[in-house]
Chains A and B, each alone.
Chain A
Amino acid sequence: MAEEWNGPLEPAGPGKWRIPRDYRPSMRTDGIIYATQGMLGDIRRDRAPEQVANVAALPGIVGPAMAMPDIHWGYGFPIGGVAATDASGGVISPGGVGYDINCGVRVLRTNLSEAEVRPRIGDLIRKLFHDVPSGVGSSGKLSIGPEELERVLVEGAGWAVARGLGRPEDLAHAEEHGAMPGASPEAVSRKAVKRGLDQLGTLGSGNHFLEVEVVEKVHDPVAAEAFGLYEGQVVVAIHSGSRGLGHQVCTDYLEVMARAGRDYGIELPDRQLACAPVNSPPGRDYLAAMAAAANYAWANRQCLSHWVREALVEVMGRPEERLGLELVYDVAHNIAKIERHRIGGRRVELCVHRKGATRAFGPGNPAIPARYRAVGQPVLVPGDMGRSSYILVGTALAEDETFGSACHGAGRAMSRTASSRQVRADDLQRELAAKGIVALAASRATLAEEAPSSYKDVDDVVAATEMAGLARRVARLRPLGVIKG
């Protein structure tokens, strides 16, 4: 990237900065970036604030164009971008969701302590690496045909549970109960279907991972108790998305939207913001295809959690009931949803885009599982290899300010090419081993590129999120072992 971004960032509250709408004539509203003062240098060098300003040009945008503290340069929308449009008159933009539709994370808790797991962590990681298909171009263990895939696209995680790959109560503890309404297999192209047939139940590659972690510190005892978490407890996190099917849906609809943009006379400062009115045939088709891809991802994470449970049973030598292994929660990081929010005293239907951002509803929200409703929605924030992850809880303030949204993870600080040059996979494995972290990766390329030094500090991202009041720390997690594709 060339010089740094030198546009205006006005203080707008604790951990909050405004790009005023008069910064660019195309802006219909302000931009808001959540970050600490100390993070602004990197953010300016990354130039992502320009993308926030571009998003502010979307027709029908309601409220400001926002970015969470893990903001970094994406294409069109920045990663960490949140923007809502009026569902009746505004637009929907596939770039506001991303290629990996419903990339997200789920966490399973156990009854095990670090002391019980540590002697077997090597066996456990090897077993998981063996049982969970991962890596580039990996194909899965499930063989399904096109008709079965249609059911996956509509039923999501429920499809897997109905086939014995999970527990009925898993569904109540996932965003959207593991399946969004309005999914339409007809809106998913033949190409996307072809990519989806072989990849169900695979981890994927890149920044996807499966991690065995220990709850190192509880910050909020009341929320931790509600979520079933305690210090010293072992949990398992699964980070994965909609695989090739999702990527193809995004690719397909970016093209559809590029044409629609011309038809609907939409002018945009950035081609990658290609969009159409939510209430138009291409807008409705994209939403229906996106929901289908999102459901595929939920089915995928459900299958992966089933194999995680089986692996733990085998390695720990105990039946599943004695291991706990309940699903704490499952959240999406890349998604667009039709949600009702209160704007100026009225409840308005909005299309909320979250790209590299997590829904973070506060206490009392009916969308949250009953067991958590008094405290708020779990917000799962994976860190990076060798560093902490966090579980946060959503707040009423987030619902007021960011349509109930918070950060999603650490965000990259170093380019992938620079990272592979700087970090060698062998050195990385040694460094992780020195910290007692067992890591297995299907590819040495991703091991080097995904090195912790490539990422912003998740502690900073979470501190900034908490300072802004969008979510509160519940627990900090430390990795014991990780598998990456």
Chain B
Amino acid sequence: MRGYRFLEHTADVGLEASGETLDEAFANAAAGLFALIAEGPVTPTEEVRVKVTATDLEELLVHWLNELLYLYDTEGLLFSRFRVHIFLGEKTGPPSFKLEAQVFGEKADPAKHTRMREVKAATYHGLQLQQRALGGTGRYLLRVVFDV
């Protein structure tokens, strides 16, 4: 169970990610992003710490994914494992929703990583964050569209 799938969208690519917890759903969204960028196994040898803040959860998702894109674009790193911790905040006042993560991956290697795709950014378009109760267990569902 991958925890993510791609959605039909004319010019861009939509991603739907799910998880038993918010942390897991955000991790699966990141996994989906890197599956979009490249095919091929990504060995989780290098660790990077990521910290982002936002004024709400939707914005936090966009900031999280765009921070990973920034790391890919500047360091050439692809990631495959994500240990995510989300701290909920207040919707008013300065940005108080926080995400701290350890992300693990390696530098993109043309011998291993193929079918590369350029992803410009995670957008706010069609952004959805839902908690669905299934037999008492909450299940989080995220939808985000990437500009490619």
A residues at B contact (CB < 8 Å): 1, 46, 72-76, 79, 98-100, 135-137, 191, 194-195, 198, 204-206, 244, 247-248, 250-251, 254-255, 258-259, 271-272, 274, 412-418, 442-446, 449, 485
Specify the chain B residue showing the minimal Cβ separation from A192.
Answer: B70
A72 to B70, CA, bound (A): 27
Assess whether A75 is in contact with B145, with CB atoms less than 8 Å apart.
Answer: yes
Specify the chain A residue showing the minimal Cβ separation from B56.
Answer: A258
Given A99-B147, A137-B76, A206-B148, CB of A445 within 8 Å of CB of B12: no
Assess whether B116 is in contact with A136, with CB atoms less than 8 Å apart.
Answer: yes
Contact of B124 among A79, A272, A444 (CB under 8 A): A272
Given A195-B74, A248-B70, A416-B148, CB of A99 within 8 Å of CB of B12: no
Query: Does B117 count as interface, using CB distance less than 8 angstroms?
Result: yes
Digitize B88-104: 1 where CB-to-A-CB distance is under 8 Å, 0 elsewhere.
00000000000000000
Shortest distance between the CB of B91 and any CB in chain A (Å): 11
Contact of A76 among B9, B63, B66, B125 (CB under 8 A): B125
Contact of A251 among B9, B66, B118 (CB under 8 A): B66
Query: Does B121 count as interface, using CB distance less than 8 angstroms?
Result: yes
For the complex of A and B, 8 pairs with smallest distance between CB atoms = A75-B125, A205-B118, A445-B115, A136-B116, A99-B120, A247-B120, A443-B116, A244-B73
Assess whether A195 is in contact with B118, with CB atoms less than 8 Å apart.
Answer: no
Assess whether B10 is in contact with A250, with CB atoms less than 8 Å apart.
Answer: no
B residues at A contact (CB < 8 Å): 6-13, 37-39, 55, 59, 63, 66, 70, 72-74, 76, 108, 114-118, 120-121, 123-127, 145, 147-148
Assess whether A247 is in contact with B116, with CB atoms less than 8 Å apart.
Answer: no
Assess whether B74 is in contact with A446, with CB atoms less than 8 Å apart.
Answer: no
What are the residues of chain B within 8 A of A259 when measuring CB–CB? 55
Shortest distance between the CB of B2 and any CB in chain A (Å): 15
Shortest distance between the CB of B19 and any CB in chain A (Å): 22
A413 to B9, CA, bound (A): 10
Contact of B8 among A195, A250, A418 (CB under 8 A): A418
What are the residues of chain A within 8 A of B6 when measuring CB–CB? 417
What are the residues of chain B within 8 A of A446 when measuring CB–CB? 116-118
What are the residues of chain A within 8 A of B145 when measuring CB–CB? 75
Assess whether A272 is in contact with B123, with CB atoms less than 8 Å apart.
Answer: yes
Assess whether B66 is in contact with A205, with CB atoms less than 8 Å apart.
Answer: no
Assess whether A272 is in contact with B73, with CB atoms less than 8 Å apart.
Answer: no
Which of B39, B74, B108 neighbours the largest number of chain A CB atoms within 10 Å of its CB? Answer: B74
Assess whether A137 is in contact with B148, with CB atoms less than 8 Å apart.
Answer: no
Shortest distance between the CB of A81 and any CB in chain B (Å): 13
What are the residues of chain A within 8 A of B55 when measuring CB–CB? 258-259
Shortest distance between the CB of B110 and any CB in chain A (Å): 9
Assess whether A413 is in contact with B115, with CB atoms less than 8 Å apart.
Answer: no
Given contacts A75-B12, A195-B70, 12 further A-B contacts (CB under 8 A): A1-B10, A46-B10, A73-B9, A73-B10, A76-B125, A136-B37, A198-B74, A248-B70, A255-B59, A258-B55, A415-B8, A443-B117
Shortest distance between the CB of A412 and any CB in chain B (Å): 5
A136 to B69, CA, bound (A): 12
What are the residues of chain A within 8 A of B125 when measuring CB–CB? 75-76, 272
What are the residues of chain B within 8 A of A443 when measuring CB–CB? 114-117
Shortest distance between the CB of A162 and any CB in chain B (Å): 27
A198 to B9, CA, bound (A): 31
Assess whether A415 is in contact with B116, with CB atoms less than 8 Å apart.
Answer: no
Shortest distance between the CB of B120 and any CB in chain A (Å): 4
Assess whether A442 is in contact with B116, with CB atoms less than 8 Å apart.
Answer: yes
Shortest distance between the CB of B14 and any CB in chain A (Å): 8
Contact of A100 among B39, B117, B120 (CB under 8 A): B120
What are the residues of chain A within 8 A of B9 when measuring CB–CB? 1, 73, 415-417
